[in-house]
Amino acid sequence: MSIKDTIKDEAGLETVLDYKIGAITAATKREVGKLEQDYAKFRRYQRIGFLLIAAAFLLPNSAVLVLEVLFANLSNFWSTVISIGVFLISFMLCSYFGFKFIMSGSDVIRQFNAKVDTILFGAIFNLLGVKGELIEHTVVVDKKSIDGTGGKLAELIDILRAHFRSLRESPESEQVLASLTTSELITEPFNTTRLDNVFAIDIVERRLMVSELHLEHITGSGRSRQVKQVFKGYFVALPLRRALTGKTFISTDGDTHGFAHRTYWSTLLEADNQIKETKFEWNDFEELLHVATDNDREAREVLTPQFMSDLYDWWKKHEQLNIRIAFIGNLMYLLFPDNQIRFEKTVSKVEPSELKEYMFTIARPLMHVLHLVEEVKR
């Protein structure tokens, strides 16, 4: 039985999730146990820590203003000495205790999120009727953002990165980033990469690799700092039954903003003179699904009418999103955008409404991905 036969659409997914959420909540509570209480406690500690960090920049200035009023008759020298002393002491105390509160429970918070993800991903795989495995719960920050930093500052950045990003560089995460480069699906510049929840699913007698991916391009600093979101969603790699000699790319139509078709398409075609846009006479969806290849014969073998029809049906319901697909070598690569995917967090507490909302952010785009890859017969 196909996944589409198990759950046909988003309404069907929500119905199944409503039916199962009670049992999933009970199972999650049993597995998480006391960890949930510790998680709630340390989340409070983190909020206190962030308030203290903010106070480190606000209270010293307030204290200096008060001192200037109270000791207005002092000489300028002593007034300056006292002001500087109060500023430094209050800044150091607030900063020290702020960081202490923030970092004190970071391990517990990571453990809670990892445990919840392990349970819920297993439940989602069961809902979709597939055999899957959550390989790792991790976040990768692109090293470009810290290159050139040395000494104690680099050490501090590594500590903060480990605490706040749950960083755990691994062969799996490095392989995902290498695959992203090989896929040629990103042509826009980016300098910050976050990778969360790498998992595998056995489908159509192959092992599908999926990663939650967030790419940004950050420029400037302070008030001139600008953050451009390049991509947020699922990055997918599916082995093909036979390696291809050429390259084939698909993009859905879109405007020139964000993760758009036109910007990507023009850059892609300019980068390789062998790749040309190809027309396959697909009637209604010819205008919305664009194909470029350097091997027409292979492209026709890979892009079955059913696959293109499924892609078209999805696109007509989600015209604000743009999918990119590449067939290169022995792999199919897919970028499936979804802004609802969460990074570095799961739920604030284990209760049905929160678990259902979080599970739906994972299962909804994953269901569409699985529906598409089921039709890849090559």
Residue 32's identity, in one-letter code, is V
Compute the CA torsion angle 255, 256, 260, 261 (nearest 10 deg). Answer: 70
Report the pLDDT value the prediction gives residue 185, as an integer from 0 to 100: 92
Higher model confidence: residue 276 or residue 253?
276
Q: CA–CA separation, 291 vs 268, rounded Å?
A: 11
Highest mean pLDDT pick, 102-111, 138-147, 169-178, 197-206:
197-206
- Positive or negative, the CA dihedral 110, 116, 119, 124 is negative
Q: How confident is the model over 125-145, as a mean pLDDT? A: 72
Report the pLDDT value the prediction gives residue 373, as an integer from 0 to 100: 85
pLDDT tens profile 54-63: 777 666 566 5
Q: CA–CA separation, 250 vs 325, rounded Å?
A: 5
What's the Rg (C-alpha) of the chain? 25
pLDDT over 50 (residue 158): no
- Positive or negative, the CA dihedral 377, 286, 188, 166 is negative
Q: Which of 301, 163, 164 has its CA nearest to residue 245? A: 301
pLDDT tens profile 209-258: 999 999 988 888 777 888 888 999 999 999 998 889 999 998 887 766 66
* CA angle (212 as vertex; 206, 125 as ends), nearest 5: 50
The one-character DSSP state at 343 is S
Residues with Cβ within 8 Å of residue 294, at least 6 apart in sequence: 246, 247, 272, 274, 275, 276
pLDDT over 80 (residue 335): yes
pLDDT over 50 (residue 155): no
Report the pLDDT value the prediction gives residue 180, as an integer from 0 to 100: 92
Higher model confidence: residue 89 or residue 229?
229
Least confident of 84-93, 180-189, 263-272: 84-93
Report the pLDDT value the prediction gives residue 326, as an integer from 0 to 100: 93
Beta partners for 212?
196, 234
Largest CA distance in the chain: 90
Residues with Cβ within 8 Å of residue 247, at least 6 apart in sequence: 184, 272, 275, 293, 294, 295, 326, 327, 328
Structure-block tokens of residue 219: 């420029």
**Residue 47: band (very low, low, confident or very high) from pLDDT cuts 50, 70, 90:** confident
pLDDT tens profile 302-311: 887 777 877 7
CB 205 within 8 A of CB 130: no
Task: Using the CB atoms, write b or e for 86-98: b if 16+ within 10 Å.
Answer: bbeebbeebeebb
The one-character DSSP state at 147 is T
* 70 exposure class (CB count in 10 Å sphere: 0-12, 13-18, 19+): exposed
The one-character DSSP state at 142 is -
Task: Using the CB atoms, write b or e for 111-149: b if 16+ within 10 Å.
Answer: bbbbbbbebbbebbbebbebebebbbbbbbbbeeeeeee
pLDDT over 80 (residue 354): yes
**Residue 205: band (very low, low, confident or very high) from pLDDT cuts 50, 70, 90:** confident
Residue 343's identity, in one-letter code, is F
Residue bearing tokens 């792999």: 331
Report the pLDDT value the prediction gives residue 73, as an integer from 0 to 100: 59
The one-character DSSP state at 204 is T
**Residue 145: band (very low, low, confident or very high) from pLDDT cuts 50, 70, 90:** very low
Q: How confident is the model over 12-35, as a mean pLDDT? A: 92
Residue 123's identity, in one-letter code, is A
**Residue 131: band (very low, low, confident or very high) from pLDDT cuts 50, 70, 90:** very high
Higher model confidence: residue 331 or residue 149?
331
CB 299 within 8 A of CB 293: yes
Mean of the per-residue pLDDT values for the chain? 80
Q: How confident is the model over 53-77, as a mean pLDDT? A: 64
pLDDT over 70 (residue 149): no
Structure-block tokens of residue 375: 């039709």
